[in-house]
Amino acid sequence: MRADRLVATLLFMQTRGKVTAAEVAAELEVSVATARRDLEALSAAGIPVYPQAGRGGGWALVGGARTDLSGLTASEAQALFLLLGPVATAEPATKSALRKLLRALPQPFRLEAEAAAGAVVVDSARWGERDEEPPEPVTVLQRAIVRRRRIRFGYARAGSRTERVVDPWGMVDKDGIWYLVAGTANGQRTFRVDRMAEVEVTDEPAQRPADFDLSTAWSEVVEEVERHRSTLAATVLVPERLLPVLRHQQGRHCVVDGPAGDGRIRVSITAPTPLMIAQQLAGWGASIEVTEPDSVRRELARLGTELVERYRA
């Protein structure tokens, strides 16, 4: 995992002071190109790792050959933990490495470094859409989370715009769509960052529950959303050889009920409306069969008729 390599690279540089990409590659058993990309990533993240050109050059930690990781500034420590924190939520080894780095930091920096490490979660499961570039406020929001400052912003939803003041607790990147998990007067709320405008970091301190865990909070958000997305179930018969494809396509919205007795497998496909289920299954054609409910079967028949009329020629 790349995050593990970045931590290992920093620890290696701590003992050597100055290294070449080839030396890092040999130490970590990766290609020279991979080692160079990792060194460049550390430098780009604001860690004091800089290339030295010319004969006898390489990459060095600013401060000399015996620079300790505890020499990081507060902003550098935050940059490092923002870089590695999202991966640590899913990788126990990376989380362990980050804990070791935390112990190497001076006490005044640990609180903000810990906040940075828990400020972002990356959720790779799709909800059917993807933005290629993070919305502009992402960096501002991350800093507000780390500094524990309240934010003020305009929020657009359902054709209306409201002004909000919230305590930012953490951010989630779900397949390129960024979400802010925050505390409000009405409890925990989730906001899509691309619907936020005129984000302002105030001087007011933000309050966050002592037991708040971003990964746990986001799991609860996902479960609630999925419950709303799973209000209707359709029974579908699918050939056993196609079952893995259907399960991969539908994710948690596909539940295997068991053999149908004719060589096919009976599964349940869930979604909020009959039309949504029909739209997801229409592309399978006659490869699968929806047995119930009738509302989904009618939508499939209607979609089929529309396609025949459109493409009859």
Please state the separation of Cα 76 from the chain's center in Å. Answer: 22
Q: Does residue 271 have a pLDDT over 80? A: yes
N-to-C CA span, the chain: 53
| Domain 2-106 CATH (choose: 1.10.15, 2.60.40, 1.10.10, 2.60.120) | 1.10.10
Q: For the ranges 53-57, 124-128, 225-229, 244-248, which has the lowest average pLDDT?
A: 124-128
Cα separation, 232 vs 174, in Å, equals 24
Output the six-digit token pair for 203: 């001087």
| CA within 13 Å, CB half, 189 | 13
Q: pLDDT of 297-308, one tens digit each?
A: 999 999 999 999
Q: Do domains 123-227 and 229-311 have the same CATH topology?
A: no
Instruction: Count Cα atoms within 13 angstroms, Cβ side, for 97.
Output: 24
**What's the burial of 182, exposed, middle or buried (CB within 10 Å: 0-12/13-18/19+)?**
buried
Measured CA to CA, the distance from residue 280 to residue 271 in angstroms comes to: 9
**Predicted local distance difference test score (pLDDT) of residue 67:** 39
Residue ranges per structural domain of the chain: 2-106, 123-227, 229-311
Q: Is 2.30.30.520 the CATH number for 123-227?
A: yes
Q: Is the pLDDT of residue 273 over 70?
A: yes
Q: How confident is the model at residue 167 (pLDDT cuts 50, 70, 90)?
A: very high
pLDDT of 116-164, one tens digit each?
Answer: 555 555 555 555 555 455 567 887 888 888 788 999 999 988 778 889 9
Report pLDDT for 48.
72
Class of domain 229-311 (CATH, top level): alpha beta
Sign of CA dihedral 123, 124, 125, 129: positive
Average pLDDT, the chain: 78
